[in-house]
Amino acid sequence: MYLMELIIKVAKVKRRELTTLILNALIIITFYYLLFENSEIIYPLMLSAFIIIIYFIVEIFKYNVFKTKLEDSRVSPNYQSNSLSSNEEEILEIISSIHKEYLSRIDSLKQERDEREQLFSQWIHNMKTSITVIDLACNKDELTKGNNKYIEDIKEENGILKKNLDECLNVLRLDDFSRDYITTSCNLKEIINTVVNSKKRDFIYKGVFPMVSINDDVNIYTDRKWCIYMLEQVITNAIKYSESKDGNKIEICAVRRCEEVELIIKDKGIGISKEDLPRVFEPFFTGNNGRKERSSTGIGLYMVKIIAKKLGHSISLSSQVGKCTEFKILFKDINLSGL
């Protein structure tokens, strides 16, 4: 049954070649018939039939080898392409490249799924902790007596809970990022001023002040909304870990480098240890500094890394313990790159 199917398939694939061979055989037989006696027809007839049969057997063998390799390529892109014609090898190479790209995409999706599951698992844990603290505070008898301590505990935990939920929503929005952002020419100073103004109360509460040194004509290629969110995370971190003392500043400046603009955000605070520095962009990593600050979730800088990558910006970080921390973000310069 399989052999018959194979013969039919080869006959369909090689119908032009077989038709040519049969026509050629008929011409030769006709030639012999016209020039020689009838008995002489047997020799060209047998010879033509033999050639056609041998050709057909060879093509069946080659087709079977190609089909086997084709089946192998469905299982794995790493196959041996021996005994194949150049056209067949080219077909299998294209299939192999598609297969490799497909497997790479699957691995990427699995990694994203695993990371997402880890994120939500940690968020659920964080929110359950806040709910437990609120529940304990609500059950205290002192709460009915107007004890402000428990009221403050509830407010603090409510703030942490709200922050976790906001970050949860932002991570969910990353799935729709490709439909939710538009990269256009944006004025960097205007974006920075918007972020600084939104953090005005935080600056005042911490006792530090922003020092912005950016020219009015610096335009970058980015999505304004997501860029503001990204810079809010960086500046919030800078405020949080700055030292609270008179005259302390957070320096924000921009430097043009070839066709790029380098935004530098530098705080004079507690700094980050060398051990923690390589991991600051990992999800839920808070390090030594975060362990001292309960409100730290370790998700802000992870979001910064993801958004910067999707927008085509590069971000780097350097720090000295007890002295400073410096963020550098590279944007495309509209004025110089001609975008």
Q: Distance (Å, rounded) from C-alpha 314 to C-alpha 328?
A: 8
> Strand 209-213 relative to strand 249-257: parallel, antiparallel, unpaired?
parallel
Q: Distance (Å, rounded) from C-alpha 180 to C-alpha 169?
A: 14
H or E element in which residue 186 lies: strand 184-187
* pLDDT by residue, tens only, the chain of 339 residues: 566 776 777 777 777 877 887 787 788 777 777 776 555 677 777 777 788 788 778 877 877 777 777 777 666 666 655 555 666 667 777 777 777 788 888 888 888 777 777 777 677 677 777 777 776 766 665 555 556 676 777 777 777 777 777 777 777 667 666 667 788 999 999 999 999 999 998 888 888 999 999 999 999 999 998 999 899 999 988 998 888 776 789 999 999 988 899 999 999 888 888 888 888 888 777 766 555 555 566 778 888 998 898 899 999 999 988 888 999 999 987 765 555
Residue 259 Cα to chain centre, angstroms: 25
Neighbours of 162 (CB within 10 A): 11
Q: 3-class DSSP state for residue 328?
A: strand
SS3 assignment for 263-309: EEEEECECCCCCCCHHHCCCCCCCHHHHHCCCCCCCCHHHHHHHHHH
